Structure 1
């Protein structure tokens, strides 16, 4: 009882001493919570709840019953309240972070003043009681101020008609979880105050505890991402990265930021994290109490309270800053010497600054030369270990016996950036989320032909290691791919890149082709999954192994998700050719038969057929979910959606996104599919014909030279223009040729292909020709336009004569 009375008196005296902090905390929460909610509700009402109603004004226009309107209005107001005070929303997290720092510093600021330390420690009170009073006072003043203002916020919400039962649970849960993470950060700030003897240094120490270790983890992940050239996608910066785990969980600040992304209803998924956070609060509290007990009174006024903590903290921080400096100068110049220069300079500067802070004396810059030398050596070795891959990351190749299955993502084989997944909301509307194609491939492709897989990977690895130094020490991101520079034909979507295949100055041109990015994912017998990515690899160098892989059922089923599409889910089939979209009708039985035929044709497609054929057109299998989503987005039926798209030639633009091509190629060898389409009066191969083309416009600007200002210096002008028009009457004078004669159109089209079809098959192997890089626009009857490219077939003297006066020989420098 005596101890309880003493603690109560000490706590009251502490709160009186910090009345300013109590008042400031209460006022900040008052204006942020109840007043902030009142403003938010008024603002939402003035804007008809647009921000809370899917960007649509909520107005009672008489189309819905009054009771239903009131119910929806109440739901929107409840959403406004929770957006201001629910866990993870509003200003509360920011205020609690600031409060943890301010209250934590003020609670034990007396430790940094010798007179105050002597006074407090001369009182006939145990240090434990004194610590408990100061520590609990900070938590109480914040928790009570936050709680009272939440109650006031509840009163404001109820005044606007929001029932208590709709928000009480969320507000109570928000208070509990916000206070949990406040205490976590508060205890960390107290530890910083215990370990320092100066308030400014204590604040700096709290900043180090909040940000330094996550920063180091982020830096290490950046080193791996930068120097390991076979890193698969974003392996070092995604949720599976060990460093990213450190970024999220190695400081109370980052733990809080991670927790704010959770939802109260989903907390069951985060029980381990919550358990660790709850356990960390008493652990850190006990650590701070132990530090308080052993803290010498004479530490007041010194930078660091404990001499033994100086060396490890200095070493970790100096090495961290040194690696940061090395990375900074490496990014600037991509040279080892500059990286080492940045590391050395950063080590010297950070070491000297820390020594000044430790000793408050400029003369102590090099007081610990041994530690400075050790820091320099460790930092330089760490930098070099990443630059020269002493870890063997890029040279990794597993033994066949250790691999269960493997997946192989040949980027040009799918040319698709994502798969749509539809989820139905409570109101019945669909939302769509993309999953990258590599996720589907890694989850569904199980290749058992490991000999072929490892043959492809070994060749890819060897080529990557040969070019590793050139890639890393390129002047910038573009130059790092100097061995594989490319130009895009006609700005086509997808991998229609034109590669200059690995040529160095003075070397003869290689015949290697079909360059692509290959990503392999091994499923090892020990349960691990290991991925590597190899860029700019010519498929021609591993054609035998690739042919064996592509011909396997395992590869195609893991690559083409259409092979796993259930026929019962397809409601319509759409065929596209020459800018025209044709529906096979809404007969589900017909759609089912066409899908099954296409699946059979695609499964039998061979590498040889792809090298010899270009698709006639493209086909899309519209699922029930996709159709519903399109109608929902376009507020009309599917047929209207398709007709509207005719003039844009872009299913992607209104379908799912401009970056997603939901069409599949229809090759001439797909006899089953073509036969069924013909039964529906859709005739593949008959729409891209001269009889349906009014004119052809060719862009010859790619073969003209640009001067320093970016203009085309050899674009004919004046007398030269008139001379060219006499020589070639089809020249318009702006870098374009226009043809309207049917004979010329036929000659051109015999050597051209639709660009959207051409881009679907990067294995097509056309003969060399001098018209590469020249694109054409075909204007069809009805006004539709189709972008085309020259394939190299049927490039006859008669065709080349149409380019008279145009320096088309320069186009030969562009290769596919």
Structure 2
């Protein structure tokens, strides 16, 4: 049984063999942390007041928030340390030698793992302390700020471990350093690639999609993939305060480490020099990697060249899947004669991509024509395109969560009928894409004036919300709003004037048809009376006038905004404008 002393000696010996990496880490981290911080702060040394402002953001110099170079450097060091520490597994002579030692496999793993960890940790901790000393020399360092710097250092270490463990895990699945590197790239982005693929295809193929916020898979993709999570942790200031992010990083780190240890215990010695370590994995990995990658490449190329329609997605996807299958087989065997060796897995991958694209191309799921059953809908809201510049709400200008874009109504039947007409238009080929496209299916421009794009929000009895975007008739939309606005509560929710607290309005300006704004010299009481009179006019306005008459003026309100502790804004005032086409106001 190996003693603790010899165990430490083996770690030191491993570090000594990788001394070039230790020196490189030390020099680069020294230049990118304390030296960079000193140069950056020294440029403001002549202005003490400005220099003091850096106290709030000084910890950013530790994790790379102020320097993209440091973020890239940490990632590269994690790659270098991981590959150099376990490259002995990829050479048969070295692997036989190490496995012939009187050491258990978990001990060999621990020696290489800890040695690599120290190669980064020691220089990084030393450079963090030196960076803090730079802040102390400049007179901006405090005890609490030093503590914040060490917490930021902790997130930097976690970010390093994400890439380090990803690299080690890839090493346990491969038998060559090249495939270990490629495997690290794949594992680092694969969860994000898979989770965002279906939403991307939905937006590309379907005509009625409407995205209010990221879907659950898209949100999870930022926390389940090592590379995106690595970047998020280092790009955000005070990322250590994001409990969910830190938890996700810790879970990924532990899972990758545990999986790596388990795989190393069963790692076959004869796998050294092979592309992959386990015989059953080549066809499985080829199918899992090539399918999402091929479709992603087609979407990326289509977006880059600006091609319209979906035919190029299909053509590029099929071309990409064929090329990827051949490329992966070449990486496996490094022999052009062996490209067809795994033809069965290639057929499976190509067939899956073809079926997947057919499902989206012909909408076998009925996404574009889907409409919840009326009895299952609790409320419906609609948002025509014209509202984007028509109604501006005070809540939209705060740093808090955005207000619900849709004004939901209990009069389900009114908007349900409008949504049904939108689906009928979809079946006729009249969609938001065709309405705004130069290759529109409308016979004349006059025909297109009869339609308007409107997004719908269906709030089901279960609480779930379904969003769609249809092309509907202009007159039908106006008639629907006329019926909805017969209720005073709906009007108060729709018109922004009712979202304004009159006591917080500090000034009112009027902009006439000549676009010449002029502040109205009113007292607080007069401003309140003016806004109250406007509210009464809005409640009594015929909604049809909003779509037929042209405004002759516009109100602009300056509203006093007191930021709370959760908001981070330095602006005490916000200007909001009125959004109705009635009376002498155009927007609010």
For the residues of structure 2 that align with 1:257 and 1:166, how far apart are their CA atoms? 26
Deviation at 1:170, TM superposition (A): 1.8
Paired position in structure 2 for 1:548:
483
Paired position in structure 2 for 1:98:
76
Deviation at 1:244, TM superposition (A): 1.5
| 1:501 and 2:447 matched | yes
Cα 1:125–1:2 shift into 2, 3 Å: closer
Paired position in structure 2 for 1:126:
104
Question: Among 163, 167, 172, which residue is 1:194 paired with?
Answer: 172
Deviation at 1:565, TM superposition (A): 1.7
For the residues of structure 2 that align with 1:581 and 1:152, how far apart are their CA atoms? 55
Paired position in structure 2 for 1:171:
149
- Contact residue 441 and residue 558 of structure 1 kept, 8 A: no
- Contact residue 230 and residue 394 of structure 1 kept, 8 A: yes
| 1:35 and 2:35 matched | yes
Paired position in structure 1 for 2:364:
390
- Contact residue 11 and residue 115 of structure 2 kept, 8 A: yes
Paired position in structure 1 for 2:415:
453
Deviation at 1:209, TM superposition (A): 1.1
| 1:600 and 2:536 matched | yes
- Contact residue 447 and residue 554 of structure 1 kept, 8 A: no
Cα displacement string for residues 89-123 of structure 1 (whole angstroms, at most 9, x for unaligned residues): 43443222111100000000111111111111111
For the residues of structure 2 that align with 1:518 and 1:555, how far apart are their CA atoms? 18
- Contact residue 224 and residue 252 of structure 2 kept, 8 A: no
Cα displacement string for residues 718-760 of structure 1 (whole angstroms, at most 9, x for unaligned residues): xxxxxxxxxxxxxxxxxxxxxxxxxxxxxxxxxxxxxx96xx7
| 1:213 and 2:149 matched | no
- Structure 1 unaligned spans of 5+: 49-57, 59-69, 424-431, 486-498, 503-511, 627-631, 639-654, 671-683, 685-755, 762-816
For the residues of structure 1 that align with 2:40 and 2:493, how far apart are their CA atoms? 50
Question: Among 546, 554, 559, which residue is 1:618 paired with?
Answer: 554
For the residues of structure 2 that align with 1:40 and 1:621, how far apart are their CA atoms? 41
Deviation at 1:74, TM superposition (A): 5.2
For the residues of structure 1 that align with 2:298 and 2:129, how far apart are their CA atoms? 52
- Structure 2 unaligned spans of 5+: 563-569
Question: Among 571, 575, 586, which residue is 2:510 paired with?
Answer: 575
Deviation at 1:311, TM superposition (A): 1.9
Q: Give TM-score, length-normalised by structure 2.
A: 0.89
Deviation at 1:411, TM superposition (A): 2.8
For the residues of structure 2 that align with 1:321 and 1:227, how far apart are their CA atoms? 18
- Contact residue 455 and residue 467 of structure 2 kept, 8 A: yes
Paired position in structure 1 for 2:343:
369
Cα 1:35–1:87 shift into 2, 3 Å: closer
Deviation at 1:340, TM superposition (A): 3.5
For the residues of structure 2 that align with 1:304 and 1:227, how far apart are their CA atoms? 36
Cα displacement string for residues 739-789 of structure 1 (whole angstroms, at most 9, x for unaligned residues): xxxxxxxxxxxxxxxxx96xx79xxxxxxxxxxxxxxxxxxxxxxxxxxxx
Mapping 1:332-481, distance limit 5 Å: 334=308, 338-413=312-387, 415-416=389-390, 418-419=392-393, 439-442=403-406, 445-467=407-429, 471=433, 478-479=437-438, 481=440
Cα 1:422–1:327 shift into 2, 3 Å: closer
Corresponding residue SS for 1:597: helix
Paired position in structure 1 for 2:565:
none
For the residues of structure 1 that align with 2:180 and 2:94, how far apart are their CA atoms? 17
For the residues of structure 2 that align with 1:480 and 1:434, how far apart are their CA atoms? 40
Corresponding residue SS for 2:274: coil
Paired position in structure 2 for 1:250:
224
> If each structure's helix is expressed as a fraction of its own residues, which one has the higher value?
2
Corresponding residue SS for 1:155: helix
Cα 1:14–1:329 shift into 2, 3 Å: closer
Deviation at 1:573, TM superposition (A): 3.0
For the residues of structure 1 that align with 2:266 and 2:459, how far apart are their CA atoms? 52
| Greater Cα shift, 543-552 or 247-256 | 543-552
Cα displacement string for residues 226-283 of structure 1 (whole angstroms, at most 9, x for unaligned residues): 1121111x45xx4x3133224312321111222335443x755x32332232233232
Cα 1:415–1:228 shift into 2, 3 Å: same
Deviation at 1:11, TM superposition (A): 0.7
Paired position in structure 1 for 2:181:
203
Corresponding residue SS for 2:458: strand
Deviation at 1:383, TM superposition (A): 0.9
Cα displacement string for residues 414-463 of structure 1 (whole angstroms, at most 9, x for unaligned residues): 6247545699xxxxxxxx65987xx4433xx2301000010111111221
- Contact residue 206 and residue 367 of structure 2 kept, 8 A: yes
For the residues of structure 2 that align with 1:529 and 1:318, how far apart are their CA atoms? 34
| 1:483 and 2:432 matched | no
What is the aligned length? 577
Paired position in structure 2 for 1:801:
none
Paired position in structure 2 for 1:743:
none
For the residues of structure 2 that align with 1:93 and 1:468, how far apart are their CA atoms? 48
Corresponding residue SS for 1:622: strand
- Contact residue 456 and residue 468 of structure 2 kept, 8 A: yes
Cα displacement string for residues 651-672 of structure 1 (whole angstroms, at most 9, x for unaligned residues): xxxx86xxxx8245564xx5xx
Paired position in structure 1 for 2:130:
152
For the residues of structure 2 that align with 1:196 and 1:547, how far apart are their CA atoms? 66
Cα displacement string for residues 264-315 of structure 1 (whole angstroms, at most 9, x for unaligned residues): 3x755x3233223223323221211111111111111111111122122100
Cα 1:7–1:282 shift into 2, 3 Å: farther
Deviation at 1:35, TM superposition (A): 1.1
Paired position in structure 2 for 1:76:
53
Cα 1:662–1:322 shift into 2, 3 Å: same
Higher relative contact order (CA 8 A, sep 6+): 2
Paired position in structure 2 for 1:525:
461
Corresponding residue SS for 1:180: helix
Mapping 1:799-810, distance limit 5 Å: none
| 1:44 and 2:44 matched | yes
- Contact residue 83 and residue 168 of structure 2 kept, 8 A: yes
Corresponding residue SS for 1:516: strand
Cα 1:598–1:440 shift into 2, 3 Å: farther
| 1:320 and 2:320 matched | no
Cα 1:361–1:665 shift into 2, 3 Å: closer
Paired position in structure 2 for 1:591:
527
- Contact residue 63 and residue 71 of structure 2 kept, 8 A: no
| Greater Cα shift, 600-609 or 326-335 | 326-335
For the residues of structure 2 that align with 1:41 and 1:448, how far apart are their CA atoms? 59
- Contact residue 314 and residue 357 of structure 2 kept, 8 A: yes
Q: Give TM-score, length-normalised by structure 1.
A: 0.65
| 1:289 and 2:289 matched | no
For the residues of structure 2 that align with 1:607 and 1:560, how far apart are their CA atoms? 11
- Contact residue 446 and residue 554 of structure 1 kept, 8 A: no
Cα 1:419–1:95 shift into 2, 3 Å: farther
For the residues of structure 1 that align with 2:493 and 2:141, how far apart are their CA atoms? 52
- Contact residue 229 and residue 468 of structure 1 kept, 8 A: no
| Greater Cα shift, 540-549 or 15-24 | 540-549
Cα displacement string for residues 151-173 of structure 1 (whole angstroms, at most 9, x for unaligned residues): 12222222222334253112110
For the residues of structure 2 that align with 1:666 and 1:395, how far apart are their CA atoms? 34
Cα 1:18–1:413 shift into 2, 3 Å: closer
